[in-house]
Amino acid sequence: MLRSLSIWFGVMGLFLLRDNCFSLDNFKTVEFNRDIRPILSDKCFSCHGPDANHRKANLRFDMRQGALSDLGGYAAVVPGSPEKSELISRIHTSKSSDELMPPLKSGKQLSETEKQLLKDWISQGAEYEEHWAYIQLQRPPIPKVMKSSWPTGAIDRFVMARLEHENVFPSKEADAGTLIRRLHIDLTGMPPPQI
């Protein structure tokens, strides 16, 4: 129980860290729902999203058809060709340029990681995915790991595979007192009372 909870927190932690370490073999393929939708939704949809009343430049990124549409001899997204995609040139222009997207005055900014993800996504064909809630769950193959003595179950193997990618290795399992103390801090934000 404690072990699975600490694994759960560990996995959550790794997802939070992902911004810094996405360029791993398992994670190299850009996935629209995981990597791209959150960027477009946070940084672009307010002006290029589903809301027609707030849509700018008659351009929408919530649908592939919109992203690929002809803007008069060019397109925001040209699958496979980031260098031909207006989206890429607009996110890379200088901060002082009126062309910069998202516009400076919107207060939104893309990180270098986000810019790279958008570029990789377009290079890889700019595929869209339905909202995850409508996609049938698929069981992924259980990854192979080098340190096969550590995992005790399938979920551990996912954790271990990711750790090995990061070149991080699990510490020895802590004693029960330390685990319960960590759990208490995780759940309540406070150390447990002294007994």
Residue 75 bridge partners (DSSP)? 70, 85
Question: Which listed residue (36, 78, 87, 159) binds ligand HEC by CB under 6 A?
Answer: 87
Q: Which of 2, 71, 104, 168 binds ligand HEC (CB under 6 A)?
A: 71
Interface mask toward ligand HEC for 152-181; x: CB under 6 A: ------------------------------
> 162 near 26, Cβ under 8 Å?
yes
Residues numbered 28-57 forming contacts with ligand HEC, rule: CB under 6 A = 43-44, 46-48, 56-57
- Per DSSP, helices labelled H in the chain are 2-17, 37-43, 45-48, 64-67, 86-92, 112-123, 154-166, 176-188
Answer yes or no: are the C-beta atoms of 129 and 33 closer than 8 Å.
yes
Pick one of 36, 59, 122, 126: the residue that binds ligand HEC (CB under 6 A).
59
Residue pointed to by tokens 């009343």: 53
49 vs 151 by CB, closer to ligand HEC: 49
Residues 93-132 that bind ligand HEC (CB under 6 A): 99, 101-103, 106, 108, 110
Using an 8 Å Cβ cutoff, are 176 and 2 in contact?
A: yes
Task: Indicate the residue type of 119.
Answer: K
Give the distance from CA 184 to its chain's centroid.
29
| Least Cβ distance, residue 39 to ligand HEC (angstroms) | 7
**Which residues lie near ligand HEC (CB under 6 A)?**
43-44, 46-48, 56-57, 59, 71, 76, 86-87, 90-91, 99, 101-103, 106, 108, 110
